[in-house]
């Protein structure tokens, strides 16, 4: 069945992505794509720091290729690195940055970390950002802290397909802190967005009538006025004749 091939390819892609994240999680990796070619499996790794993924002399790429071939039983994996254009608008990269800053500096200034990340994302011109931290911050009891800025779709097809969602985790002494990031890009066309077109109002200009046309109109008026005068004169003549008879 064709459906089984697609499902198998998606499962393999997910397993490759999990393994790449476990090995190169701090290299600013956004996501991984798998393309089947006649020569073998082409694995495209999208990262904001391609140099960290490649390593010195391509050591990381060679080790990753051998590991994927053995563990996932791939025939001929070929890894390609692609740089992410706007890392601040990528949900996975933002979530990894927040988790790494929490591990480095602790959870005391977690609100500043969240606001700093939101400021970096908003500079890219996105429609909305939402960050949720859950764990033992700042006390011993687990809590959830949520910051939302802008406009964010929570339901419907747009919330599932167009809104970027990512998760990450930070390992601290107090426990694990979960990070959730949602970003609504600026290029999304909402179904309820309506544009009203403004009608162009044309100015009506009164054209000046030429002198010839004015003379013609005046002549017609004089003729119309002369006709009833002639009729009155004839009537008066007829009345005088009747009286004379």
One fold for 2-84 and 88-184: no
Query: Is residue 82 within 8 Å of 35, Cβ to Cβ?
Result: no
Higher pLDDT, 163 or 227: 163
State the CATH class of domain 88-184.
Answer: alpha beta
Mean pLDDT confidence for 197-207: 66
- Digit-coded pLDDT (tens) for 109-127: 888 999 999 999 998 889 9
Please say whether the beta carbons of 195 and 127 come within 8 A: no
Give the residue-averaged pLDDT of 54-69. 84
In this structure, the number of other CB atoms found within 10 A of the CB of residue 94 comes to 26
Assess whether pLDDT exceeds 80 at residue 198: no
Q: What is the DSSP string of 53-107?
A: HH-GGGHHHHHHHHHHHHHS--SSEEEEEEE-S-GGG-HHHHHHHHHHHHHHH-S
**Residue 209: per-residue pLDDT:** 47
Longest dimension (CA), the chain: 141
* pLDDT at residue 154 is higher than 70: yes
- What's the Cα-to-Cα distance from 111 to each of 6, 7, 26, 131, rounded to whole Å? 42, 40, 22, 11
Question: Starting from the edge strand earliest in sequence, which strands make up the sheet with 176-184, in order?
Answer: 143-150, 128-135, 176-184, 164-171
For 147, the token pair is 């910051």
Rounded to two decimals, the pTM is 0.70
Domain layout of the chain by residue ranges: 2-84, 88-184
- In the prediction, which pLDDT does 210 show? 53
pLDDT at 214 over 80: no
Answer CATH for 2-84 from 3.30.300.20, 3.40.710.10, 3.40.50.9100, 3.30.565.10: 3.30.300.20
For 115, counting Cβ atoms within 10 Å of its Cβ (0-12 exposed, 13-18 middle, 19+ buried), the class is: middle
Q: How far is CA 197 from CA 194, 200, 202, 209, in A?
A: 10, 9, 15, 36
Of 123-127, 137-141, 225-229, give the range with the top mean pLDDT.
123-127
- Asked if 111 contacts 143 with a C-beta cutoff of 8 angstroms, the reply is no
Across residues 203-214, what is the average pLDDT? 56
The better pLDDT of the pair 71, 227 is held by: 71
pLDDT tens, residue by residue, 92-102: 999 989 998 99
């Amino acid at each position: 069945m064709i459906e089984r091939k697609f499902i198998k390819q998606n499962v393999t892609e997910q397993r490759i992505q999990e393994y790449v994240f476990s090995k190169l999680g701090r290299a600013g990796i956004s996501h991984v794509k798998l393309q089947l070619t006649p020569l073998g499996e082409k694995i495209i790794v999208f990262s904001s720091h391609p140099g960290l993924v490649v390593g010195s002399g391509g050591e990381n790429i060679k080790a990753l290729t051998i590991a994927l071939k053995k563990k996932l039983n791939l025939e001929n994996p070929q890894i390609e690195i692609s740089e992410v254009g706007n890392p601040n608008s990528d949900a996975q990269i933002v979530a990894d940055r927040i988790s790494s800053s929490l591990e480095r500096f602790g959870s005391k200034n977690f609100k500043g970390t969240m606001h700093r990340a939101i400021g970096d994302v908003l500079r890219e011109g996105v429609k909305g950002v939402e960050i949720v931290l859950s764990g033992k911050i700042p006390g011993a009891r687990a809590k959830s802290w949520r910051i939302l800025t802008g406009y964010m779709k929570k339901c419907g097809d747009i919330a599932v397909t167009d809104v970027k969602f990512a998760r990450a985790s930070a390992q601290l002494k107090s426990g694990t802190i979960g990070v959730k990031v949602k970003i609504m890009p600026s290029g999304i066309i909402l179904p309820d967005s309506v544009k009203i077109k403004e009608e162009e109002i044309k100015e009506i200009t009164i054209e000046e009538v030429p002198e010839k046309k004015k003379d013609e109109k005046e002549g017609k008026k004089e003729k119309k006025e002369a006709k009833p005068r002639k009729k009155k004169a004839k009537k008066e003549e007829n009345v005088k004749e009747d009286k004379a008879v």
